[in-house]
Structure 1
Amino acid sequence: MSRIRDFHINTMTLDERSWQKKLARKRKAQASRRSLPQRSHMPSAAQAADLPIHSSMVARDLPKLGLGMAGLARALPNGDLAVSLFLVDTYCLGVKDAFFRVLSQEEWAQMAQGAQLEKVHPSCLRKLVEGAVAYARDLGFPPHADYARAAQLFGSIEAAVCPVRYTYGHNGKPLYISGPNDTPAQRRRIASILTRRLGADGFHSMTATELPAVTEGGGFGEQRGF
């Protein structure tokens, strides 16, 4: 799986493809800098979990597209940021990708701007992400392998205090939208899991190119504060 930097979320296809391409470059760049003195003692997500929160953000189009980034940044003493990012599919698959990295403030600002992230209360970020994970788990889909490590950055943030009520799926059912990099075998496996769990009529599926047909009125979340 791949990773991110700056991109515009215009459609699901662009979102997922950009995540994979940009994040692959980000991983390579991060690996090349591991030996630099200022990054030689990078904390883990768990070690950074008590640091002050710098920002908490979610993709502007996530409610409309059902897929987008969500990120939490905590401030390190040297001015850098400990960042956890999640690619969240609220329609079906939960957290499709995740990573924890130490970034400069400039890198994080560029990433947030390119991905059209908007500020949300940290409790709502955690509630949104964990709700998507729980929804997908119930369908038979675990989160990305790096999710548990990245989620340690949440620390003591309390999701329960968020007043926003999030819903998942689309029009009352899971909606599996196959991404541009999903293989036929992956599509069949996901459809098979959903069919066993819900029956043939218990979910919807489509390709990313068909996404505009379902985004109208397909949002989630009822704002009641913050």
Structure 2
Amino acid sequence: MKKKQKQSPQILSPENYIRQRARNLPIFKCFVNDGWDEQGLAHVTISRKHVNGNITYCSYLVDLKCLGIKDTLYQFNVPEYEFDEYKDKLDDNLGMIESEYNLGHNIIHAGWEYAEEIGFEPHKDFLSITQYMLEEDSDKIPLIDIHCGGENGKPLFVQGPLEDDTMAGMIMNRLEKTLGAGNYDYVLGGGDPFDDSYDNDDDNDIWDNEDDFFDEYSGNSYKENVAIFLELTQYLENVASEDGMFENDRDDEDPDEEEKFKRIGALTNLLYDDLTDFKEVNRWVTKWNKEARDYTITNAAYWQMLGLQNENDFTYEDLSYLTKDANEAKLSEYIRERWGELPYVDFLEIDILDDPSEKKARIKRALKQYPDHALLKLEDMAIKIQDDKLKKTELSFKSLFGERKEITPYEYVMWQMTWLDYFASNYDLSGMEALFLFNDPENYTEYPQVTMFLSALYAMRISVLRIFLLES
């Protein structure tokens, strides 16, 4: 009689661990910034301790005056000294004080409920991950009265660094539609006391604010700005490729070059504002934000991308190898030796084909065998875009990924690149602008693949605008 093989314990991703097991861990320490009640802006950090002594913690940026849970982050199973370093950094910037768990719980839930009442939903990572760090909101949690709204009781929107001018306009539009004129207050261009904690951009990054030149051009006529934009972008004829770099390499050390690029950025923002339909942009961003509540971007989904049926068949060693910079041939060889034929191997082989007819035939055969594989569907959609046969509904998250809750950074990039190709091929400026606004670079700094896509998106936004203006 054969002995039963011992089943290996399932390894949960950090995200799934927080969702499924965080509430089983004891609360360790909780902190909130000093003066949160006067400012109406709270930074709450809640930590729990593992049996190994390590800490999992989540932080929440809560706007009690209007927007609710604006931002959130989490760290899983880190040594206690790393948590202490994080807390000390927050303390230096914000002045943190230790608090009872119940206070943090009430602050978060009060901000969440107030914002939802006036039409604003919490950060997508809160809905999908960090809300599960909190205890269930039951009668066991003592109710603490948390003041929300401005001093006069009306919602008060204070623009901070997490909201650029376009996003601030969308927020104002939402308040106007939901509450009506005179039923809310606002302060535009205001600061945010959590700027240092959440803003990690480098001063020379291409995502830098172009406000230095916004005022200079905002008083111009549309025709004047078009003429200046076309003159400044003459050297960007081939502005973007898939690697997100300009054909004419930018010299970041040259102050004149940096200034020119910022001027182009300011003009691009102004011209998109003139040429796009705000309602259409808002419709796309709202749609994608709703979809984003239902998925997490993580390499823990790599086994699903490969086409495996069982997560236990995929190890961290596999992930370590497959996420290295290996070429398609080596990846295919590894996958075949490890698991046999998988749909991802078909995708790798199709992706490098140059002949359109051969590519179409291979895609058709592969989809017949693997009809639900997202990357194969995206290859098919790329062909449809070229043939002008793609329907926008085919690019929805559910159409591509079905009931999946996690996708890899690579799948996300391929999905967004397909949207980019679709909008660019149709010179759909509203779609381009919506894609640009939806993909906030601050959310993806840990994924180099996504960062490269964002550079390509930034460049294509300029390139498509230039072509549109030249052909208008």
User: Is residue 138 from structure 1 mapped to residue 117 from structure 2 by the alignment?
Assistant: yes
Question: Hey, what does 1:173 align to over in structure 2?
Answer: 154
Q: Confirm whether residue 105 of structure 1 aligns to residue 86 of structure 2.
A: no
Distance in 2, matches of 1:159 and 1:187, equals 37
Shift of the alpha carbon at 1:91?
0.8
Q: Identity across aligned pairs (percent)?
A: 23
2:64 aligns with one of 90, 99, 104: 90
Higher relative contact order (CA 8 A, sep 6+): 1
Question: What is the CA deviation profile of residues 68-119 of structure 1, one whole-angstrom value per residue up to 9, with x for unaligned ones?
Answer: 3101100012211111111111110000111222232222222223322222
Aligned counterparts of 2:118 and 2:13: Cα–Cα separation in 1: 39
Indicate the structure with greater strand content: 1
Q: Determine the structure 2 residue equivalent to 1:62.
A: 36
CA offset digits 1:182-218 (Å, max 9, x no partner):
2222111101111112111111111354789xxxxxx
Q: Residues of 1 paired with 2:137 and 2:176: CA distance?
A: 36
Looking at structure 2, the residues matched to 157 and 200 of structure 1 have their Cα atoms a distance apart, in angstroms, of 34
Q: What letter matches 1:197 in structure 2?
A: T
Gaps of 5+ in 2: 1-11, 194-472
Q: Which deviates more from structure 2 when the two are superposed, residues 145-154 or residues 100-109?
A: 100-109
Check conservation: 2:160, 2:191, Cα contact below 8 A.
Answer: no
Whole-Å separation in 2 of the counterparts to 1:70 and 1:130: 12
The whole-number CA distance in structure 1 between the counterparts of 2:89 and 2:186 is 29
Tell me if the contact between 1:123 and 1:158 (Cα under 8 Å) persists in the aligned partners.
no
The answer to whether structure 1 residue 114 and structure 2 residue 95 are counterparts is no
Q: Compute the displacement of 1:122 (Å).
A: 1.4
Paired with 2:126 and 2:183, the residues of 1 have a C-alpha distance of 27
Inter-CA distance 121–157: structure 2 relative to 1 (3 Å threshold):
farther
Q: What is the number of equivalent residue pairs in this alignment?
A: 174
Identify the structure with the greater helix proportion.
2
Which ranges in structure 1 are unaligned for 5 or more consecutive residues? Answer: 1-39, 213-226
Structure 2 counterpart of 1:51, from 25, 38, 56: 25
AA in 2 matched with 1:143: P
Report if aligned partners of 1:84, 1:151 keep a CA contact under 8 Å in 2.
Answer: no
The structure number with the bigger radius of gyration is 2
Q: Structure 1 residues 131 and 170 mapped into 2: Cα distance closer, same or farther (>3 Å)? A: same
| Contact 1:126 1:159 (8 Å CA) reproduced | no
- Following the alignment from structure 1 to structure 2, what is the Cα–Cα distance between the partners of residues 147 and 179? 20
Aligned-pair CA distance for 1:175: 0.7
Match of 1:152 in 2: 132
TM-score (normalised: structure 2): 0.34
